[in-house]
Chain A
Amino acid sequence: MRRQLAIMRQSLFDQGYLDEQFIELEELQDDANPNFVEEVVTLYFRDSARLILNIQQALERKPFDFNKLDGYMHQFKGSSSSIGANKVKAESTLFREYCRSANAEGCLRAFQQLKKEYATLRKKLEAYFQLARQTGPLETASRPK
């Protein structure tokens, strides 16, 4: 099972769902905080859900307030990047570009894509942590603490 976990973890990186920032988090995990990464990720999904909702609502009001949208997305991007959510971060960047060029269509499309990636990541990470809990403490970080 440990190997399964490792494989799962590696694929998340290989497929670009996670980047090296996630490893930073893993390195912070230690005996005193054995579930640190999971805690952070949980907090992220909880908090970012609120942001997604805000953006959703802002996109329902016409015309678009691009500044506001950009602001929300800036926050969202910051959050996502801090846990290493790579694809989600990329979609946020794209969304912001559309905001800056006041491209409403682009924003809508980018947002749909972003929500998809967000949902996918959430599912994958949930599965990952579930397995991790079953497996017990595992060596995640390659770098020595």
Chain B
Amino acid sequence: MNLSSGKEYISTASSSAGWKAGDAAAAAAADQFPAGLRVLVVDDDPTCLMILEKMLRTCLYAVTKCSRAETALLMLRENKNGFDIVISDVHMPDMDGFKLLEHIGLEMDLPVIMMSADDGKHVVMKGVTHGACDYLIKPVRIEALKNIWQHVVRKRKNEWRDFEQSGSVEEGDRLLKQSDDADYSSSANEGNWKSSKRRKDDEDETDERDDTSTLKKPRVVWSVELHQQFVAAVNQLGIDKAVPKKILELMNVPGLTRENVASHLQKYRLYLRRLSGVSQHPSNLNSSFMSPQEAAFGPLSSLNGLDLQTLAATGQLPAQSLATLQAAGLGRSAGKPGIPMPFVDQRNIFSFENPKLRFGEGQQQHVNNNKQMNLLHGIPTTMEPKQLAGLHHTAQSMGNMNMQVASNGSQSSQNNPLLMQMAQPQARGQVTNDSSLGHATRLLSPMGQPILSNGVAANVSTKTGIQENVRAPSYNPVLQTSSMLNFPMNHASELPGNSFPLGTTPGIPSLTPKVAFQEDVNSDSKGSVGFMPSYDIFSDLNQHKPQNWELQNIGMTFDASQHSNNLQGNHNHSQPVLVQQGFSSGQVNGQNKSATVISKAMFSAGDSTGHANAQNGNQHLNSLLVDGTVRVKSETVADATPTNLYPDHFGQEDLMSALLKQQDAIAPAEHEFDFDGYSLGNIPE
């Protein structure tokens, strides 16, 4: 289009940008997307502001400029749906750019790009941790601005996924809760699994979710009042007990869905985590295992750092997952801190990266160390949303489990190294995914279990299926210790599936059930991590029969289930399972559960993918499995188990049944999840 007409369009768009709903503008914009993208640029430097405005206009975006952060917030609040993306400077006189970033994230949930002349690693990292979806170094070139629309699309995609999975979120929540309460002993696990299953059966969320998944819910704008109501409800319930359903009830706002609350809760938890600082223990995490894990994972930094970062970067990595992952990664000195060392610090706080954290891209590169990340990449691009949704749930549950696993993982030091190792290679692969990882990260975190990473990583990279959503950095490795795979499930596609450290945990068989979990968990996170990678892990696991102690079984189980489940059509059938898992965990930003779920998923996926993917995962998985970090508490997984292979529409029930089928065949499979026997045994609640 020629510039002049473009300009006219822009000017029209600009005026319409101010409209309340911006419907007309939106409609017009939709046709010519990304032209007409409504950008709000905030910078106290008038020269830069003028240049940026001109550049954005040249890109055919509808620009509104603003020199003060306060004014920008006002504008955003007045016109909730008036903007698509915000670009803000870091250093501003009236308000810190990061603070603005947080506000926007909590209240409006818009993608925010930070810019600064400062390109120091710390500042960039801050951007990531605060949830920026990108970071530009000044002087900004127009080329850098041409592609900012991708962040808008990505976010929308994730949100859509969230909606889909929202139904599963609650399931995941419940599952996770069950797991949390459940004793991690084998018997308990069994019990949990059963109860989880029962819950699942009773749950009609799935149906609900299926229905809602087809609709794209209008974005809910979290106004100050609404947010205050939300915070009041959360405080009333207690941050640990605050579940979306209860919060929703307390808030009693018509038109607000549990999904909305769930995703907001996720962000909020990240935000809190960030506030509390490094020493923070993740209250968000369902289980307190994160703490122990953190300690254990100190050395893991490399793994975690990378994965977590990637995950975090992807934005959706729930703090918890991150924490777990980090812990896992850190615990294992094996992993090289390579990346995001900041994660190490964050370990404590569970670097709950802001859901908005989209740093993924940048981070991911760093994640090289973390093979895990790679895994995730591989994963699930093909993960269909449904799968992802399933994963979410699973992820959630997994997340939970992961956490627990993670804690256990720490104990199984040996596991960790394995996981780490596995994760590492995978992480590398995945790292490339970046951005999407953000989401994936969410999922990944829980997957501390290295198992996943190994298997997953391998798969992830190879698996293209999950690619679409799971950009998640191959978090696989992260899971190592704590099975906290940070499945960057962000948007399902992202999950490179690498991180499913499902690998070694002997409880692999139980993994399969976990997979199911993840799906649940995913509901929370956006873009369910395409845990596809996890599937890979399983496949790897399978292959390494001797090593995967349990994984093998699990893998088998998965395979069986996979086949039966007809994994969504991921190319790697096995992968889908993984992916789901990964995603679910990832999704659960706020909920560690997902992490556990993911790990579970990983395992299961690992198995299933094992066959399919064999390539990467197996080895890793095996190692992972061996570690036993796959603690993936069966509890969490239990719920999810049957559904490892989430069929197209994450029918947990389907998975469950699939799993059950497998379980029957494998018998111990169910218990496998519990991994009681494995080092994970101690997964603290």
Contact = CB atoms under 8 A, between A and B. Distances in A.
A44 interface: yes
Nearest to A77: B117
11 contacts: A27-B142, A28-B55, A32-B3, A33-B54, A40-B50, A74-B118, A78-B139, A79-B45, A79-B48, A82-B48, A82-B140
A21 B3 CA distance: 21
Contacts of A83: 47, 51
Contacts of A74: 91, 117-118
A31 interface: yes
Interface string A48-81: 1000000000000000000000010011011101
A84 B47 CA distance: 12
B660 to A, nearest CB: 61
Interface string B41-62: 0001111101100110010000
A24 interface: yes
Interface string B129-143: 000000000111110
A30 B3 contact: yes
A84 B3 contact: no
B9 to A, nearest CB: 13
A81 B138 contact: yes
Contact of B46 (A31, A33, A43, A145): A43
Interface string A1-44: 00000000000000000000100110110111100100110011
Looking at A32, A36, A74, A82, the one whose CB has the most chain B CB atoms below 10 A away is A82
B13 to A, nearest CB: 15
A78 B142 contact: no
A91 to B, nearest CB: 14
B68 interface: no
B117 A78 contact: yes
B47 A44 contact: yes
A40 B47 contact: yes
Given A28-B58, A74-B91, A79-B45, A84 B139 contact: yes
A92 to B, nearest CB: 9
Contact of A82 (B7, B44, B51): B51
A47 B55 CA distance: 20
Chain B facing A: main interface SS: helix
Count class of interface residues, chain A: 20 to 34
A115 B43 CA distance: 25
B116 interface: yes
A83 B45 CA distance: 12
B51 A28 contact: yes
A78 B138 contact: yes
Given A28-B142, A82-B45, 5 more contacts: A28-B58, A30-B3, A32-B7, A43-B47, A145-B3
A82 B139 contact: yes
A79 B411 CA distance: 53
Contacts of A30: 3, 58
A36 B140 CA distance: 17
A79 B139 CA distance: 8
Interface of A: 21, 24-25, 27-28, 30-33, 36, 39-40, 43-44, 47-48, 71, 74-75, 77-79, 81-84, 145
A28 B118 CA distance: 24
B142 A47 contact: no
A127 B573 CA distance: 69
Contacts of A75: 44-45, 91
Contacts of A27: 142
A53 B290 CA distance: 52
Contacts of A145: 3
Interface in B288-314: none
A121 to B, nearest CB: 14
A47 B45 contact: yes
Contact of B47 (A31, A33, A36, A79): A79
B139 A81 contact: yes
A47 B46 contact: yes
Contacts of A44: 47
Contacts of A21: 139, 141
Nearest to B116: A78
B568 to A, nearest CB: 45
Nearest to A27: B142
B48 A78 contact: yes
Contact of A31 (B4, B55, B118, B139): B4
What 9 A-B pairs have minimum CB-CB distances, sorted nearest first?
A78-B117, A82-B139, A44-B47, A81-B139, A21-B139, A28-B54, A82-B48, A79-B47, A78-B138
Contact of B45 (A28, A31, A78): A78
A82 B141 contact: no
Contacts of A32: 3-4, 7
Given A27-B142, A28-B142, A47 B117 contact: no
Contacts of A71: 91
Contacts of A24: 139, 141-142
B101 to A, nearest CB: 18
Nearest to A39: B50
B514 to A, nearest CB: 49
B4 A82 contact: no
Contacts of B4: 31-32
A122 to B, nearest CB: 14
A28 B54 CA distance: 7
Nearest to A31: B4
Chain A CB within 10 Å, residue with most, of B45, B46, B47, B141: B47
A36 B117 contact: no
Contact of B51 (A25, A48, A77): A25
Contacts of B3: 30-32, 145
A72 to B, nearest CB: 11
A89 to B, nearest CB: 9
Contacts of A81: 117, 138-139
